[in-house]
Amino acid sequence: MNLKNIEILNIVLLLIAGILSILAPFELFLFVYAFLGPLHYVTEINWLQDRHFYLHSKKEIVWLVLPIIGIGLATYTHYFNVLKLWIPFLIYTAFLSAIYGTNKNQSKKVRFIFIILLLIGFSLNFIFENKFKLIFSLFLPTLIHVFIFTGLFLLSGFLKSKSKWSFSTLIVFMIMSLIVSTTHFNTSLLFDEIKPIYHSFEKLNIALFSICNNEIIDSQDIYFSDLGRRIMQFIAFTYTYHYFNWFSKTSVIQWHKTSKIRSIALIVIWITSIFLYLLNYQLGLYWLYLLSLTHVILEFPLNIITLKNIFKI
């Protein structure tokens, strides 16, 4: 598939994601998160592994893996519950390590700056605990990942190709993001059983409410208020297109080219994940929380390189 056809496909997918997010934002988000999410996580991790996670040295991967292990211990073991307080700092450390790991200049001066920034993050985790947690434990693995970096990837693609079709995709992405976050048509198909299922994700909605200087008086605000609906439309749209974009770029980034053994393993993990979601959605979320966060953290070096390429750093 040539670039023009890929970008036309992406424009169509943007429109589909936008329309569906307006019609049934909660249902759409829960569906794509459960069915497309796991497949995206495992295929991207596999793809990144073949590219050594875009790190300057293979050895640098340890500084991304250690925070992931720490988060896993905090999440799934009783003895390391105290580490839950450190999850934002662990994610901060991973992001800082990605910056260091993609830097060819690893002189003593650069290592010293890295240590200073690490100590600053350590301090901020205590001094501004709630805000630090909000940025690194909530927004970075969610909306910054699926919206900001998806937009930056589209921008980077346009800057490389200089194609009018790539530019059109970027513009449609921005327009649809604006439409779904500012327009509410009262067309929701919200079902009663959605609320207890979506409960685990409400922190993100509440945080966005606070940014808009609105206080949630009742949990119903998240689901039925005008602002609540628009916030959910935006979340559903960004996640849906984030997944769509990955699967539509098969011929460009070649993520599907892997060994048979790996392909079987990826499919088994994906099917197992879907089965757990169908068995019990909360169980499925618990099962794939770490996998989702792992793919976010392992993508940090690619995010950093994309930023450097855009701004010619």
Structure confidence by residue, pLDDT tens digits, 104-139: 877 788 888 889 999 999 999 888 888 999 999 999
Angle between helices 226-248 and 25-35 (to 10 degrees): 30
Residue 275 lies in a domain: no
The overall average pLDDT reported for the chain is 89
Residue 262 lies in a domain: no
The CA distance from 295 to 298, in Å, is 5
Q: What is the mean pLDDT of residues 294-303?
A: 96
Residue 279 lies in a domain: no
According to the per-residue pLDDT averaged within each range, which of 51-60, 134-143, 251-260 is highest?
134-143
Question: Residue 244 — very low, low, confident or very high, per pLDDT cuts 50/70/90?
Answer: very high
pLDDT at position 269 is 93
Which residues, including other chains, have CB under 8 Å from residue 87's CB and lie 6 or more apart?
70, 71, 74, 133, 137
> Quick one: tokens of 153?
């990837």
Question: Residue 9 — very low, low, confident or very high, per pLDDT cuts 50/70/90?
Answer: very high
Quick one: CA dihedral 103, 104, 106, 110, positive or negative? negative
Give tens-digit pLDDT for 144-164. Answer: 999 999 999 999 999 998 999
Question: Does residue 277 contact residue 34 with C-beta atoms inside 8 Å?
Answer: yes
Higher pLDDT, 86 or 194: 86
pLDDT at position 219 is 65
pLDDT at position 177 is 97
Residue 140 lies in a domain: yes
Q: What is the mean pLDDT of residues 207-224?
A: 76
Residue 261 lies in a domain: no
**Predicted confidence (pLDDT) at residue 191 exceeds the cutoff of 70:** no
Angle between helices 25-35 and 281-298 (to 10 degrees): 70
pLDDT at position 129 is 84
Residue 100 lies in a domain: yes
Residue 268 lies in a domain: no
Q: What is the mean pLDDT of residues 273-283?
A: 88
The CA distance from 87 to 67, in Å, is 8
CA trace torsion 261, 58, 304, 117 (10° rounding): 130
Q: What is the mean pLDDT of residues 180-190?
A: 74
Percent of the chain beyond pLDDT 70?
94
**Predicted confidence (pLDDT) at residue 192 exceeds the cutoff of 70:** no
pLDDT at position 1 is 67
Question: Residue 275 — very low, low, confident or very high, per pLDDT cuts 50/70/90?
Answer: very high
The CA distance from 192 to 26, in Å, is 11
Residue 277 lies in a domain: no
The closest of 141, 114, 111, 139 to 290, measured between CA atoms, is: 141
> Quick one: tokens of 123?
């301090």
Q: What is the mean pLDDT of residues 70-93?
A: 88
Question: Residue 215 — very low, low, confident or very high, per pLDDT cuts 50/70/90?
Answer: low
Question: Residue 304 — very low, low, confident or very high, per pLDDT cuts 50/70/90?
Answer: very high
Instruction: Say how many domains are in the chain.
Output: 1
The closest of 15, 24, 100, 106 to 55, measured between CA atoms, is: 100
The CA distance from 150 to 13, in Å, is 14
Percent of the chain beyond pLDDT 90?
61
Give tens-digit pLDDT for 14-27. Answer: 999 999 999 999 99
Query: Which structural domain range is residue 53 located in?
Result: 3-256+290-307
